[in-house]
Amino acid sequence: MQWRDFVLILYLPMRVFYWIRCPDREDVMAGRLKSLIESLGPAIGRSWIERVSQHENMLREIRQDVEYTCSLTGRDALSEEVMAAMEQVPRHEFVVPDCLERAYANRPLPIGEGQTISQPFIVALMTDLLEPEKGDLVLEVGTGSGYQAAVLSRLVSRVYSMEILHSLSRRAESTLARLGYDNIECRCGNGYFGWPEKAPFDGILVTAAAPNIPQPLVDQLKPGARLVIPVGLPGMHQELMLLEKDQAGRTRTRDVLDVIFVPLTGESLANPAN
């Protein structure tokens, strides 16, 4: 059994159990469990305990950011399901080795090729805006490290994820397969034009900023579906936008939050969707 399995299987459930049943003794139990892990392998045990603590802190900071931005986003809390997915997915598995110590910092981190893994708060917010459901088929444009796809995969039936950079696509596909995310299908290609063969989608999430909302993506949304995308030019104002398509095929958009994203590359200069 690997050390992360030991921590996840024993340490976290026991902390939750004792917090519910014996909140006044939770710290005592946690201390004993930490001592046990460290006695079995001091350096490795401390490393995993620290990582669990950092993950918990990341979740707290996400909740704080949600409260701070609620007047802009219209959300004073994210769904329990989204927060559970953020807790389940190990972000440290998706960062490059040089950033491992900062894996659970609530900030974007470089992943190579001029790309980044998004800030956890933004990952959680965009996921929540999509309002995913268990039976959904979702398209992600911009696989990057695979982290956002992994979060989505805990909430929907299947994720189709596109990445234009071959090296990132291959690395993300390998990471997701190694970690057992078997309801994600990756493809290297130009996400601006979507994935017509798999359309229509219950939701589309774009993880890079486009100068406008790509019409091919709007066309591949099911009636009643949502598209979440950052819109704006590199180095200029960018806005996270939510597009909703009604049952008659009409669309409406609203600005959610000022953001900074790497640009969507390879896209065509299409007209903005209205």
pTM for the model: 0.82
Task: Please state, in angstroms and rounded to a whole number, the distance separating the CA atoms of residues 24 and 105.
Answer: 29
Domain match, 129 and 224 both: yes
Residue 266 domain-assigned?
no
Per-residue pLDDT of 32-65, as tens digits, reads: 555 555 554 554 555 767 888 899 999 999 999 9
Name every residue whose Cβ is closer than 8 Å to that of residue 87 and which is 6 or more positions away in sequence: 55, 59
Question: Which one is predicted more confidently, 269 or 140?
Answer: 140
Examine the fold and report which residue of 18, 47, 73 is the final residue of a domain before the chain moves on. 73
Examine the fold and report which residue of 58, 73, 88 is the final residue of a domain before the chain moves on. 73
Burial, 171: exposed, middle or buried (Cβ in 10 Å; 0-12, 13-18, 19+)?
A: buried
Per-residue pLDDT of 106-128, as tens digits, reads: 999 999 998 999 999 999 999 99
Q: Is residue 228 a contact partner of residue 128, using CB atoms and an 8 Å limit?
A: no
Domain match, 90 and 204 both: yes
How many domains, in total, are found in the chain?
Answer: 2
Q: 269: pLDDT confidence band, cut at 50, 70 and 90?
A: very low
Domain match, 87 and 68 both: no
Say what the alpha-carbon torsion angle 99, 167, 262, 235 is, to the nearest 10 degrees. 100
Residue 265 domain-assigned?
no
β-strand partners of 252:
244
From 39, 71, 118, 169, the catalytic residue: 118
- Domain CATH number, residue 92: 3.40.50.150
Assess whether pLDDT exceeds 50 at residue 271.
no
- Catalytic annotation on 118? yes
Domain match, 110 and 241 both: yes
Domain match, 183 and 244 both: yes
Burial, 147: exposed, middle or buried (Cβ in 10 Å; 0-12, 13-18, 19+)?
A: buried
Domain match, 216 and 95 both: yes
Q: Are strands 238-245 and 251-259 parallel, antiparallel or unpaired?
A: antiparallel
Examine the fold and report which residue of 73, 106, 130 is the final residue of a domain before the chain moves on. 73
Provide the CA 150 distance to its chain's centre, in angstroms: 7
Residue 90 domain-assigned?
yes
Average pLDDT, the chain: 86
Residue 264 domain-assigned?
no
Domain that holds residue 176: 80-259
Task: Please state, in angstroms and rounded to a whole number, the distance separating the CA atoms of residues 88 and 70.
Answer: 24
